[in-house]
Amino acid sequence: MTSAKQDADPASVAAAKLGMTLPDLGLPPARNEFRIDDDVRVPTRDGESLLGEHYVPETDTPRGTLLVRSSYGRGFPYGPLLAEPYAERGYHVLMQSVRGTHGSTGRFEPMIHEAADAHDTLVWLREQDWFDGRLGTLGASYLGFVQYGLMMDAPEELKASVVMMAPHDFGKAAYDQGIFALETFLAWSDSTAAQAGGLTMPEMGARIATAGQRLGPAMTSLPMADAAEEALGGMAPWYREWILHPDLGDNFWAGFDFSAALGRTRAAVLLTGGWRDIFLGQMMEQYAALHDRGLDVAMTIGDWEHSAPLSVAAAPIHQQALAWFDEHLAGTAPRTRKEAVSIELVGAGTWLDLPAWPPATVGHVWYPTGEGKLHDAPTGAAAKVQFVYDPADPTPAVGGALLTGGGRVDNGVVEGRADVVTFTSEALGTDLDVVGVVEVELGVAVDNSFADAFVRLCDVDQQGRSVNMTDAIHRLDPAVPAGETQRVALGLAPCAYRIPAGHRVRLQVSGGAHPRFARNLGVAGAQCTSTDMRPSVHTIILDDSRITIPVLTQRP
């Protein structure tokens, strides 16, 4: 049952106008009805008030309490996805807006107050007569990040967490692989700031989808800081601070980093991610840290992008989440997972159940040649290839992990540019199951000390269509004198991908992928305040280069 407030929720109205509907979650039948207590206010230590709703299961045997803390409001799709299904199955749910958003007082400063406010919410929960000491947390993206804020205190009440596609270290997310993730975080700042104007989550989604067109000038104009500020209209003051602090060792980023939570929490944690998600790398770090401590941690990775928990992946994610809470919070169900790790093998139409990550693999090594080939044995011939990267006409990003869109696309247009070099294998005689982290070693000499290297692995079909599988970017060491060779070792983003027999493997190398990653202007000093640009000549030393692909030892 729902309240009149929920029936008239403006987010639900906006969703209907946009033609947005929620998928059938395929959950077990509801156990009970529920009511919603509106206007639940939680005081913070510094005098602010966090607004939320309490979803109350009408049952004599509640199963525990779920805390959902949201920066995106509490209506559609969050209430129907993260509160109602669980309240119908015996769980109290406190859905709360973070400080400075959707009725909660104070100033919204992304990430900064989440650990303290989560702790203050727990203090309040302990005083409620309906709270029985069993707590779980749930949510995706920002709603996942805030869960690590609560884990910083490692409360004994926290028994289970379901974290979907979320970072634990926001500084490292913003400076993905050491380079600012321009497109993702400019679009996020734009849409998040727009909430102050009353946009609902569905309307925000539509705004994000058009961000590339609307924010294009801000991504190409210089200086970057001023261009972004003009585009954001002063509504996202945090963004300028982010780009003015490119050094993650700066104390500025200390409040954005919840890495310590991974060493403190005692909760059972279910991690859900996507091979096309922007936070995949951090989720792998979360799994490794929790697994190494011997905690009960499980991980599911599908062929999903960042928005999938609200759409195509909602059903499997919530089926697994409910089972996780029933096992670890309510204690009413046995484990239903076959193995701790479940991953989708892209291109094979199958899922792999693994006892742990990574699985057993054998490294298949290929060597690039001056003729643009990949050989499975060194040729012994010294060779070099060159290209020029010009920040005035930066190599464009196509596909890859983005906040929205991206994914696997045809790379033909970008591979036809003069500032991109490729190396391609012969057609494969058998299927190749690439599972794990592809390692690329390059010998690189650049006539400019300020340069980047972008590396991508592609699957090329019989018609010549080149589709990206995984990639990485690396900022070359500016301390190395111009023209001197430096060895670059890159671990590409984890993947699980079947390259079919008859297809070819392609290694792609360039000097950037703009605006997914902010371009290197090729000059010393702060990139975000500069208007100067200088091109760079990249020389790839092929006898110092190779690629190692992890191939699954047992075929599914």
Give the containing element (helix H, strand E) for 274.
Answer: strand 268-274
CATH code, domain carrying 492:
2.60.120.260
Q: Is residue 328 part of a domain?
A: yes
Could you read off the pLDDT of 172-189 as tens digits, one per residue?
Answer: 999 988 899 999 999 999
Range of the domain at 75: 4-180+246-337
Judgement on whether residues 16 and 117 belong to the same structural domain of the protein: yes
Q: Is residue 208 part of a domain?
A: no
**Number of structural domains the chain divides into:** 2
**Which of 305, 337, 369 delimits the end of a domain?**
337
CATH code, domain carrying 79:
3.40.50.1820
Find, among 68, 71, 92, the residue nearest to 81 by Cα.
68
Could you read off the pLDDT of 88-131 as tens digits, one per residue?
Answer: 999 999 999 999 999 999 999 999 999 999 999 999 999 999 99
Q: Is residue 520 part of a domain?
A: yes
The answer, yes or no, to whether residue 14 has pLDDT greater than 80, is no
Judgement on whether residues 260 and 147 belong to the same structural domain of the protein: yes
Find, among 50, 70, 185, 216, the residue nearest to 122 by Cα.
50
Q: Tell me the β-bridge partners of 423.
A: 507
Q: Is the pTM of this model over 0.75?
A: yes
The reported pLDDT for the residue numbered 19 is 53
The reported pLDDT for the residue numbered 3 is 42
Judgement on whether residues 419 and 484 belong to the same structural domain of the protein: yes
Judgement on whether residues 314 and 387 belong to the same structural domain of the protein: no
Judgement on whether residues 328 and 370 belong to the same structural domain of the protein: no
Judgement on whether residues 303 and 443 belong to the same structural domain of the protein: no
The answer, yes or no, to whether residue 311 has pLDDT greater than 80, is yes
Q: Is the peptide bond before 494 cis (omega within 30 degrees of 0)?
A: no
The token pair that represents 241 in the structure block: 């601070």
Could you read off the pLDDT of 348-387 as tens digits, one per residue?
Answer: 999 999 999 999 999 999 999 999 999 998 877 779 999 9
Q: Is residue 234 part of a domain?
A: no
Q: Is residue 277 part of a domain?
A: yes
Average predicted confidence (pLDDT) for the chain: 93
Judgement on whether residues 313 and 418 belong to the same structural domain of the protein: no
Judgement on whether residues 332 and 375 belong to the same structural domain of the protein: no
DSSP 188: H
The token pair that represents 449 in the structure block: 């000390």
DSSP string, 457-510: EEEE-TT--EEEEEEEEEE--TTSPTT--EEEEEEPPPEEEEE-TT-EEEEEEE
